[in-house]
Amino acid sequence: MAILVTGGTGYIGSHTVVELLNANYEVIVVDNFSNSNPESLSRIKEISGKDFKFFEVDLLDRGELETVFSNCVIDAVIHFAGLKAVGESVEIPICYYHNNITGTLNLIDLMQKYDVLNMVFSSSATVYGAPKQVPISENFSLNVTNPYGRTKLMIEEILNDVYTSNSNWSIALLRYFNPIGAHESGRIGEDPNGIPNNLMPYITQVAVGKLNELKVFGNDYSTPDGTGVRDYIHVVDLAKGHLKALEKIISSNGVEAYNLGTGKGYSVLEIVQAFEKTTGKKIPYSFGPRRSGDIAECFANPTKAEKDLGWKARRGIKEMCIDSWRWQSQNPIGFQNKNDKNYATTLIR
């Protein structure tokens, strides 16, 4: 079975391609390297010992994307490609809407044209906004607060409409909680541009000496230690969730949303302590004000994915810390020859 993976050289995509190859799927990757590095292609081949097709294509270029569909037999698509920085999306919303929405429209239009009606889509827990309670179930009301989140919710709605128009479609909307960690080989991992926005890459960059100290955004939340609580999930568990979702959509039609999280929340200070304990690296930190837009607590009720997909996160916080650190310490400057062009800014020029 042949799977087209858009955004397959990025953080979650590269880990998912490894799992797909390990499970003997034929894989076709499409990416424009706007937030990734060609080096990840050879690392994926090295880890899996397998080859796959790659097309350097921008989803915004419908003509180029069509050559992939006309040249390859495709059974299903896993759609990761998109821009994902919340703060940047507030600054350049048109670019985010164009890249994420137009790119997805081009993709699903071609899928329909070539009768490829199976899709796994990367959504996000951000679609729940500030939830009324935790843990969060899939039937909670949706309420986005920034352009990035709005692109995710809009795409979910578009995909629902597409299914309503043609019930042969089969779509899984995977709402990720907080992916961290890296492949146990230490060869692929998260490689953020500039100073990281997210907690774990910030911690690993403090540990490796690139940054001086962690600023903890707020210690006055109504949580046990006053710092924000999140549902951190190992990226390899997340990747495996895509294979389970794939099996599901191949065997039945419909459109369904699934939370991919562990169901357990950790505070910022608990993550710092877990990292220090498992790696032996000291993480200096100080408290600062709350980050605008942040919520106190966010963690999943993951039972729907377990019941319907037969998927459950297996890796604990210890492995998440060890694997994040292995990747960072063995690749202190990430994939090295990173393409530093600012794609988002280029798009709006």
Question: What residues line the site for ligand UD1 (CB under 6 A)?
Answer: 86, 124-126, 178, 197-199, 202, 214-217, 228, 230, 268, 291, 293-294, 298
Smallest distance from ligand NAD to CB 14, Å: 8
User: How far apart (Å, rounded) are the C-alpha atoms in residues 85 and 270?
Assistant: 24
Query: Is there binding between residue 122 and ligand NAD (CB under 6 A)?
Result: yes
Least Å distance, CB 126 to ligand UD1, is 4
AA letter at 294: D
Distance between CA atoms of 332 and 329, rounded to whole angstroms? 5
**Interatomic CA distance for residues 53 and 104, integer angstroms:** 21
Residue 51 or 294: the one with the smaller Cβ distance to ligand UD1 is 294
Cα 146 to Cα 87: distance, rounded to the nearest angstrom = 8
Query: Got the DSSP string for 55-119?
Result: EE--TT-HHHHHHHHHHS--SEEEE--S---HHHHHH-HHHHIIIIIIHHHHHHHHHHHTT--EE
# of chain residues touching ligand NAD (CB under 6 A): 26
Q: Any contact of residue 156 with ligand NAD (CB under 6 A)?
A: no
Q: Is 263 left (phi over 0), alpha (psi -120 to 50) or beta?
A: left
Q: Give the pair of three-digit tokens for residue 320.
A: 């998440």
x-or-dash pattern for ligand NAD, window 236-255, by CB under 6 A? Answer: --------------------
Q: DSSP characters for 223-247?
A: STTSS-EE-EEEHHHHHHHHHHHHH
Question: Distance (Å, rounded) from C-alpha 226 to C-alpha 224?
Answer: 6
In whole angstroms, give the CA distance from residue 82 to residue 37. 15
Picked from ligand NAD, ligand UD1, none, the partner binding residue 269 (CB below 5 to 8 A depending on kind) is: none
Q: Which of 148, 202, 221, 258 is catalytic?
A: 148
DSSP-based three-state secondary structure for 33: coil
Residues facing 260 on adjacent strands: 176
- Name the DSSP class of 309: I
Binding letters toward ligand NAD, positions 157-196, x by CB under 6 A? -------------------x--x-----------------
Nearest distance, CB of residue 33 and ligand NAD, angstroms: 5
- Which of 55, 69, 80, 335 binds ligand NAD (CB under 6 A)? It is 80
Q: Which stretch binds ligand NAD (CB under 6 A): 82-90, 154-162, 220-228, 260-268?
A: 82-90
At 171, phi and psi to the nearest 5? -135, 130
Question: Could you tell me which of 211, 187, 216, 219 has the C-alpha nearest to residue 199?
Answer: 216
Out of 59, 92, 120, 257, which residue is the one contacting ligand NAD (CB under 6 A)? 59
- Among the residue ranges 6-14, 21-29, 66-74, 259-267, the one whose residues contact ligand NAD (CB under 6 A): 6-14
CB-nearer residue toward ligand UD1: 187 or 230: 230
Residue with Cβ nearer ligand UD1 (65 or 271): 271
Identify the helix (H) or strand (E) that includes residue 318: helix 317-330
- Closer CB to ligand UD1, 128 or 169, in the complex: 128
* Shortest separation between residue 62's beta carbon and ligand NAD, angstroms: 11
In the region spanning residues 23 to 52, those forming contacts with ligand NAD, defined by CB under 6 A, are: 31-36
Q: Which is nearer to ligand UD1, 97 or 114 (CB)?
A: 97
As a whole number of angstroms, the distance between CA 338 and CA 112 comes to 34
Give the residue with the Cβ less far from ligand NAD, 152 or 248: 152
Q: Is 113 helix (H, G, I), strand (E, B) or coil?
A: helix
Stretch that binds ligand NAD, among 5-13, 165-173, 271-279, 324-332 (CB under 6 A): 5-13
Identify which of 172, 332, 321 has the alpha carbon closest to the alpha carbon of residue 250: 172
Distance CA 121, CA 155 (A): 9
Shortest Å, Cβ 205 to ligand UD1: 10
285 assigned to active site: no
Which positions touch ligand NAD (CB under 6 A)? 7, 9-13, 31-36, 58-60, 80-84, 99, 103, 122, 124, 176, 179
Catalytic residues: 148
